[in-house]
Structure 1
Amino acid sequence: MNKPVKEKKKITKKHKQIILVTCLIVVITAAISLGLWGGFYYQYGSNLTIESTEAKNIIIMVGDGMGFNHIEAAKIKKKLDSMNMEKLDVHGQIRTRSLSIAPTDSAAAATALATGYKVKNGEIGMTGKKTYENIFEFAKQKGKKVGFVTTTNAYDASIAAFSSHVRDKNMHDEIIKQQIESDIDLIIGIGKDKYEPYADQIETEDRAYCKTLQEIKKAGIQKKKIFAVLDDELTERSENKLKEIVSFAANALENDNNNGYVLLVEGAKIDTYSHQNDIMNMIEELSEFDRAVGHLKERAEGNSDTFMIVTSYYETGDLRIKNIEDATVENMEKENWFHSKKHTRDDVPFFAIGPGSTEIPSNKPLDNTDIFDICKQLIENYASSSS
């Protein structure tokens, strides 16, 4: 008995479309897995041209995890019309994506700000064997002093992007070793347990290793460089502690210095409490950060040679306020305005003041890599005009 002959199925136009879409999905998935997706949508910055030659000093302030609604929530709680950062001259927003498909992490986001390059999540200041020069390294070549203040561990990924180059953000000991070997003039953060084993290497003839603010102030008179881990003072919240520390930092970098400085200030715990969906503590951290912003804003306004920008690495927590006009502290406490415990892809705000700030476009989103490009051009322009 003959077996029935199976009819060959015709490949219709619809089938071809399905095959094409499937192939496209496979290609995109492969690209994502190789970390190439970021290059498809956006690899580099906006090719901005900054012509100002007057920015001797540059201050970069990062409210880690701070989005537009974090600021609004703080204003509601504190009954403010505006925060200090909102009183800066130029306002805009920044895209935060990395070369990974997931929302950016601290390593990639800080690397973009520090070097002007996109990397995959987890990478700090490098991709593969290729390292990227950061803004601190570039500034030192131009004779500037550089330093940072952070309210978290000084070896944390976001700070590490300005002070090291490592394949993985968890390589804490390597980050610390590179910080010790670096030419950074001022390091202030926390993390005493991790730094203490390196105390003998940190303390040098011209660099002091300090554990209290009083030690810092004393050392600032005696030594050129400061390496401080202030676990007690930066861990306990105080209304004006960060303001006091950043004031010292700016003074220390400005002292005995004709070429200017680059200062990074990071309010790290805005992100910490956003991950925890703890809106009240987030607001207190943001408010303390904003007081430091206010102090440095006054300093920038009093010195026509200081450029200052305030921004964020990313938005944390997907914070939403349904109706800002009707929002109250009471419903802030009753409702959970956070909708995630992770970073999001949302754009984040920036605020700027000082030489070159009005050249930054505010009518379209910038990329986070633009921050590096702006600062680099300001440094180059000042160096050229001063030579």
Structure 2
Amino acid sequence: MKRRDFLNTGVFAALGGALATTGCTPVVDAKKEPFKGKAKNIIFLVSDGMSVGTPTMADLLLQRKEGRSSQWMDLYRQNKVRHALMDTASADSLVTDSAAASSSWGGGVRVKNGSLNVGKNGENHKPILQKFKAAGKAVGCVTTVPITHATPAGFSVNMKHRNMQDKIADKYLELGFDVMMGGGLEYFNGTKRDDKKNILGDFKDKGFNVVQTKSQMTALQAGKPTLGVFTEGGLPYSVDQHSDEELQNKIPSLADMTSKAIALMQNNSNGFVLQVEGGRVDWAAHGNDAGALLYDQLAFDQAVEVAIKFAENRNDTLVIITTDHGNSNPGLIKSTKVDQKFDLLQSFKHSNEWVLHNIKKTDSPANVVERINYAHGYTISEEEAKTILKAYSKFDNGGLYNSYKLPFKQLAEIQENYISIFWSGMNHSADFVELAMYGVETEALPPLVKNTDLHNYMLQAAGVRV
């Protein structure tokens, strides 16, 4: 379809008119013939909290370690995608959180940070997966964080606040989506539910396949909706999982879940829509955890590869690759022997999280030096080790991403001297972010879009009128 025709449907009228300021849905002329979209299937991939330095460094790491580029950057190098920048602001801030960011795609309207498709006056904006489900498509989400977390929830539900994860789990039961897989077991088995109820049995009673291990997921056959919850909290960081055979055997990767979700939904006669989230990229950025960040970005890239391979020999699939916002703006910064320092990441065995969770108050500085050397391959000084140990006398067990107030910042600042990766902070940024589209119905993508524009873009690409 020509870009001009797509623009005339109203999808990107927001870039030049009232839609940009009001957040209203464009009026559809009922007398006109319905738009005939070519995107029977849509795969929407989100590397949560991905500043532009993250895919850059992941690509450099892969080139130097394995002599090949990442899938995402290779799509750019081969000019196989249309790509743009995306403005990620929320209704009440230039700097969005993941709930408002995903709601901009899910409901097509900017809402306040923390909200899931609920406007400032309490109005509900119908989430896009509900719209696609009503149109007869199979729908689902897979993620490396709790499946009840902000990004999958923003595509799926209306909720006053993102923290109501037990209520989000209940809503998933009601909605009956085709595939929902990730972490967050505690919101289904009762551990972190207000009512303490185990609702996994309710899903089974409603006809769901409920799986909790990689082998159970692999054995699934199409025909029934699927709930997969593999861990409490988020799935392990990829760098840690690669060093633990038991975790590799028990817990699927993001690429594994993506491949299985496609297999379970691809035979639906009306097609499918799948959201894929590399959620722990964001968590690693919050912790300034370079090894966790880059290896989870590469795990996300493997999921991108799965999606591209599915779409590349078809004429009915749109693949969207993006992030919801930047986070902490990491970058490889020039220093003495910067290449050699960066190359240390090739032999990382574990994340900073793994290192810090295994340090005890009673450890000596020598213990800390030894642990970091084992995990990362460089040797810090005893004075640097003492800086880390000092924080262990102040644990207060609070916070969304750093529940024990572990000294992530202190370790990251020490790491700067050894791997030359620097950070601007430990939270989200207002940067415009990368957006790429592959496959059918990509022609209408302009160079700069608002996050809300993608809602109508997907509906019109699929020919779904609501």
TM, length-normalised to structure 1: 0.80
SS of residue paired to 2:200: helix
2:25, 2:327 → 1: CA distance?
25
2:83, 2:24 → 1: CA distance?
18
SS of residue paired to 1:164: coil
Q: CA deviation at 1:304?
A: 1.4
Moved more, 223-232 or 335-344: 223-232
Moved more, 114-123 or 331-340: 331-340
Residue 57 (1) aligns with residue 32 (2): no
Moved more, 155-164 or 265-274: 155-164
Residue 84 (1) aligns with residue 68 (2): no
Matches within 5 A, 1:95-174: 95-101=87-93, 103-127=95-119, 128-174=121-167
Distance 1:283 1:329, change over 3 A: farther
1:41, 1:142 → 2: CA distance?
27
> Which amino acid is the alignment partner of residue 216 of structure 1?
M
Contact kept, 8 Å, 1:55 with 1:305, in 2: the verdict is yes
1:106, 1:63 → 2: CA distance?
11
Contact kept, 8 Å, 2:43 with 2:274, in 1: the verdict is yes
Q: CA deviation at 1:41?
A: 8.2
Residue 299 (1) aligns with residue 326 (2): no
What corresponds to 1:377 in structure 2?
460
Moved more, 159-168 or 301-310: 159-168
1:84, 1:44 → 2: CA distance?
34
Structure 2 stretches lacking a partner, 5+ long: 1-17, 29-33, 190-197, 243-251, 343-415
Q: CA deviation at 1:116?
A: 0.9
> Which amino acid is the alignment partner of residue 141 of structure 2?
F
What corresponds to 1:10 in structure 2?
none
What corresponds to 2:263 in structure 1?
251
Contact kept, 8 Å, 1:212 with 1:230, in 2: the verdict is yes
Residue 356 (1) aligns with residue 441 (2): yes
> Which amino acid is the alignment partner of residue 134 of structure 2?
Q
Q: Deviations over 1:320-353 (max 9, x none)?
A: 44569x9635157443421110000001101111
> Which amino acid is the alignment partner of residue 462 of structure 2?
I
1:307, 1:194 → 2: CA distance?
32
SS of residue paired to 1:203: helix
Distance 1:108 1:43, change over 3 A: farther
What corresponds to 2:172 in structure 1?
179
1:354, 1:188 → 2: CA distance?
25
Q: CA deviation at 1:83?
A: 2.3
2:129, 2:62 → 1: CA distance?
35
Matches within 5 A, 1:135-284: 135-196=128-189, 197-221=198-222, 223-231=223-231, 234-235=235-236, 237=238, 238=241, 241-255=253-267, 257-284=268-295
Distance 1:82 1:367, change over 3 A: farther
Contact kept, 8 Å, 1:220 with 1:226, in 2: the verdict is no
Q: Deviations over 1:217-250 (max 9, x none)?
A: 44435x5100110128943635683222211110
Contact kept, 8 Å, 2:141 with 2:180, in 1: the verdict is yes
Distance 1:327 1:59, change over 3 A: farther
Q: Deviations over 1:273-320 (max 9, x none)?
A: 111111121000000110110121111102211100000010001224
Residue 345 (1) aligns with residue 346 (2): no
Contact kept, 8 Å, 1:122 with 1:169, in 2: the verdict is yes
Aligned alpha-carbon RMSD (Å): 2.9
Q: Deviations over 1:356-387 (max 9, x none)?
A: 1122123xx11111111111112226x89xxx
2:106, 2:283 → 1: CA distance?
21
What corresponds to 2:411 in structure 1?
none
TM, length-normalised to structure 2: 0.67
What corresponds to 2:449 in structure 1?
366
Identity of aligned residues (%): 25
> Which amino acid is the alignment partner of residue 140 of structure 2?
G
Q: CA deviation at 1:108?
A: 0.4
> Which amino acid is the alignment partner of residue 50 of structure 2?
M
2:453, 2:68 → 1: CA distance?
29
Distance 1:92 1:175, change over 3 A: same
SS of residue paired to 2:341: helix
Contact kept, 8 Å, 2:333 with 2:420, in 1: the verdict is no
Larger RCO, structure (CA 8 Å, separation 6 or more): 1
Contact kept, 8 Å, 1:317 with 1:339, in 2: the verdict is yes
SS of residue paired to 2:143: strand
Contact kept, 8 Å, 1:45 with 1:366, in 2: the verdict is no
Paired residues in the alignment total 339
1:159, 1:172 → 2: CA distance?
11
What corresponds to 2:330 in structure 1?
319
Moved more, 82-91 or 270-279: 82-91
Q: CA deviation at 1:213?
A: 2.7
Structure 1 stretches lacking a partner, 5+ long: 1-38
2:338, 2:24 → 1: CA distance?
36
1:67, 1:45 → 2: CA distance?
29
What corresponds to 1:21 in structure 2?
none
> Which amino acid is the alignment partner of residue 203 of structure 1?
K
Distance 1:356 1:51, change over 3 A: farther
Contact kept, 8 Å, 2:38 with 2:462, in 1: the verdict is no
Q: CA deviation at 1:188?
A: 0.4
Q: CA deviation at 1:176?
A: 1.2
Matches within 5 A, 1:324-335: 328=339, 330=341, 333-335=418-420
Q: CA deviation at 1:45?
A: 9.2
2:141, 2:152 → 1: CA distance?
8
Contact kept, 8 Å, 2:35 with 2:463, in 1: the verdict is no
Contact kept, 8 Å, 1:139 with 1:379, in 2: the verdict is no
